[in-house]
Structure 1
């Protein structure tokens, strides 16, 4: 993801029970779980306080928030507000962060790319808050400013999948991989959109492309297992899901893989 790699709350249904409708890429974090921070947040200012605040986000988000608040009272402006919003997001206050980021992006005097990036962060925060409709709206504003951005297109594709609009998601994800053919997540999400549209051969091709770029990508392995299961290859699906559990046993993808493995073991009568 280009700015924040956000994980939001998964759908309750299991993958095989729901016909593949659960959102494996949006799993496991809630208000109590710290959220990852962006490696290179968009810069709204060259002030040294801003750089120091952004640098603190990953290791000390509470300290970053305190610094942003005190700097804001001393005239830090939108840069202080931006760092404070990112700290809120990292601390799990996703909805408040999303609202703040939208305000900053709408009012900022920064360039188009920086404003688009902040709208993109707002979209990711809305996703984290379990509000895909709001995420879609924020990401649409971002793409109005920077129409060909592979990361933003991937984010909006993810939101559209969460809204059960796989055809529209596929349009965005096709554009994303056209703009950046090395973006693994876009290929994985594209495979999921194609699968949901019951276009299994191109879905298999898309997930193969993703895993050729990153063979150990757990979301990609999870999705390939789903596609294999739908195609009737239970052995291949089991292999992929067991690999997911082995690679990331504490992750959300592993939880979903384990659930699917249990369904395979239970037999067709219980699916």
Structure 2
């Protein structure tokens, strides 16, 4: 699942752009220089690495590569560089265009991934409606990918469409029943719908699947507290502090524990 500004390479883009390499014997392969296919793949990888580390330099390199006929890999690298440079809207537009115009050999799955990445960029730009539209387009291309359902659920959650988020997470759960984070996200959405019993069941399932998952432990504690079981809440949050003391979830757990102690002292 996707978090922050991380955008993965579109698998095989460089290979598709370069076309098939000529057949070689084992001896030829040992002595021959790198094929155009391999060079393209390496250039794509290097460009994405630069986009993560020094995006302003990657922008210029990707534009030069595109002008030299770099095709889809160069265009994708440029979009990633823009995203990592904080130009989220420009990145989103480029990723949407890439999804529409990808080489037909890439197929619908790769176009779906590019459109999902556009959705992430729109989300970072604060354009929630456009983000949901992009993720819906991605799902129209590939409805069997659990991650894509989670992507749209996260946008729906931010739009306070908690029922819609639950629907998407139901689909994700049916396709990835062992993914703990699906249950964590659904537990949070159900909590916002005041369906606390079902939410706690999801949180407990998440902890069973991933006992050291900080988000699962945080959500479990929150739900126990909302249902009046302060001891169980304290146990969940204390466990979180033991297994992931420096995580963002741990900070939330410390705040909750402090608040709960203060209320107990006042009482």
Alignment TM class, shorter chain as reference = 0.7 to 0.9
Work out whether residues 10 and 110 of structure 2, in 8 Å CA contact, stay in contact via their aligned partners in 1: no
Q: Using a 3 Å threshold, how does the CA distance of structure 1 residues 62 and 209 change in structure 2: closer, same or farther?
A: farther
C-alpha displacement of 1:87: 2.7
Aligned to 1:197: 193
Q: Is the 8 A contact 1:44 1:78 kept in 2?
A: yes
Within a 5 Å distance, the mapping from 1:251-262 to structure 2 comes to: 251-262=247-258
- Aligned pair count reads 239
User: Does the residue aligned with 1:6 lie in a helix, a strand or coil?
Assistant: coil
Q: Distance in 2 between matches of 1:94 and 1:88?
A: 7
Three-state SS of the structure 1 residue aligned to 2:13 is coil
Which of 59, 68, 78 is the equivalent residue of 2:62?
Answer: 68
Give 1:98's match in structure 2, choosing from 65, 75, 92. Answer: 92
Unaligned runs of at least 5 residues, structure 2:
16-39
SS of corresponding position for 1:232: coil
Answer whether contact 1:6 1:128 (CA < 8 A) is retained. Answer: no
Could you say which residue in structure 1 is the equivalent of 2:11? 42
Normalised by the length of structure 2, the TM-score is 0.78
Aligned counterparts of 2:210 and 2:64: Cα–Cα separation in 1 = 42
**2:3 counterpart (1, 6, 27):** 6
SS in 2 for 1:202: helix
- Cα deviation 1:31-78 (Å, max 9, x = unaligned): xxxx3343x543333133224323555556555444323212212122
TM-score by length of 1: 0.77
Larger RCO (alpha carbons 8 Å, 6+ apart): 1
Q: How far apart, in 1, do the equivalents of 2:57 and 2:224 lie?
A: 46
Is residue 234 from structure 1 mapped to residue 210 from structure 2 by the alignment?
Answer: no
Aligned to 1:127: 123
CA root-mean-square deviation: 2.6
Q: Which residue of 2 aligns with 1:82?
A: 76
Work out whether 1:181 is the aligned partner of 2:181. no
In structure 1, what is the equivalent of residue 151 of structure 2? 155
**By percentage of residues, which structure has more helix?**
2
Name the residue aligned to 2:24.
Answer: none
Q: Return the alpha-carbon distance in structure 1 between the equivalents of residues 243 and 183 of structure 2.
A: 20
Instruction: Tell whether the 8 Å contact from 1:154 to 1:185 is kept in structure 2 after alignment.
Output: no
Distance 1:239 1:93 in 2: 43
* SS of residue in 1 equivalent to 2:133: helix
Corresponding position of 2:216: 220
Q: Decide which structure has the larger Cα Rg and report it.
A: 2
Cα shift at 1:140: 0.2
